[in-house]
Structure 1
Amino acid sequence: MKSVKAFAPATVANVSCGFDILGFAIEGMGDWVRLEEKDSPGLEVVSITGDEGKLPKEVEKNTCSVAIQAMLDHLNVEIGMAIHLEKGLPLGSGMGSSAASAAAALVAANEFLGNPFEKKELLPFAIAAEKAACGAGHADNVAPSLMGGFVLIRDYHPLDVIKLHVPKGLYCTLLHPHFELKTADSRSVLRDSIPLKHSTIQSGNVAGLVAGLYEEDFDLISRSLRDVIAEPYRSILIPGFNEVREAVKAKGALGMGISGSGPTLFCLSKGEEKAQAIADAAEEVYQSIGLGVDVFFSAINTRGGYIIE
């Protein structure tokens, strides 16, 4: 029986100033999807591990099967696939958990079908899965999970996605505190409108961040990692946010922000040594406030999703 297995990485979305338009992938954390040929036509979610029984196996609700079905519908192909999902990412973590599942499923399915699509061409199918998972078809997680690196979503109609330059030596430290922050709650605190002044500041920071990546100007990257639209409201939902930010800044963080809708925080830094020091400093803060935290650091993943076997 034909079998294909793929991996797709965790991601950071928004990246402070890039609300809903910027994201990047990290190394080492993510989800795995294995597809097996089956005799009868149609998709079947056979097994899910690492989710504590929380994810649906219904084909019309699971992000893996929704993504693959969107691909098959586009190709007008009917085929039998058994889906096995291995979750390496916690649910509702702000690390692109649903996106990694969809991306891994699409990379595997594309290989299964003889690679009819380039990675970038898989994005509409991944966006369909994100919409099924959380009600909004954003691409700032699925795009970097599929393509790797830093990704800019310039527009959705039509979809216009640009893979950006990643400076050598750029590292990310992820801090996942042990409490749940629902995406709906994180969205509910946002304002429906923003002052013109804040729009101007945010636009300048997005432009500065993109320029800093291409120029490999870490000081410019640092100055640009500022969010005046979402972070002021979302940060109050995350215990220890201000204390952690001060601690990591003292250890050389270029900046710290909320990964996706939280509660995970991300810190960018130049070099692995600083990424480790930032991780240690953050752990001390969380210990002092009595909150557990999972800490992880890595270089930026420029590969995206890939076939394992």
Structure 2
Amino acid sequence: MNAESAYQAHETLVAPGRAKSHIWRILAGLGIIAGVSYALNLGAFLLVLQLSSAADLAAVVQGSTPAAMLLVLVTFGFMALGAGVAGRLLQGRSFVSLVGPLAPLLHQFTRVFLRLLIVFGIVLLLPPYDFGAPLVPNLALSLWLGLLPLSLLAVLVQVSAEEVVFRGYLQQALAARFQNPLIWLLLPSALFGLAHYMPQEAGDNAWLLCLWAMGFGLVTADLTARAGTLGPAIAVHFFNNIVALLVVASPSSLNGLGLYLLPYDLSDVAGLRPWLMVDCATMLVAWLVARLAIRR
């Protein structure tokens, strides 16, 4: 099967932007997304500054407490708002047209997410049962469970916003302009990876984590093009971030909602790099599970 036939459903997302697919519109749209997100995040930051102490402000920056982490995740929604404004002003398209028809989106999201739960639930029953060292307890189980509904909603906002920007606005705008899938698959994925470049936290592992994020972006870009909605991409991203932020978080940052912490931080070369290979294999399995779930 060639790329054109495999990605036929993508036209549902791309068509609304085809009449206004000028390069300047794409770039201006990215500027609007960045501007709206920056302005609203600055406003939220100043509000926290007025209402909180310096210690609370540091916690927000690091996402090191439950309240701080919830705030960090929810403010990702400003990116989605910016994408909606950019789509409306520059391409005359609705927000729904960026995510795809809602009924198929919800159907695909549910199918993919439930299958990921089943497959990786089975994987969890198999050895090994740690990450080379015991996991570090972070939140009390009762507190974690009490926060879980809010935590899940906040993570859903965060991943949905990233998908709307990268696999919604940017991928679709490029696909409306360029026929070659390599352009609209690879460029948003590369930018997604660069957005995850964290040299201060990850040290010598920063570029490897960046490359992993690029691969993840390519997986979700492919799923979006095959499905014709953002549902599968959001489901895979949601599942991944539930594990990475709510179940076993990094001790380096963004760990305020994690039940456990990894026994090493992001800059630990010996501890982290072997598990990056496992993460790559996990990403491949998630992609295959999602593809089977949306097969027509």
Structures share a fold, TM > 0.5?
no
Going by fraction, where is strand more abundant, 1 or 2?
Answer: 1
The normalised TM-score by structure 1 is 0.26
The normalised TM-score by structure 2 is 0.27
Going by fraction, where is helix more abundant, 1 or 2?
Answer: 2
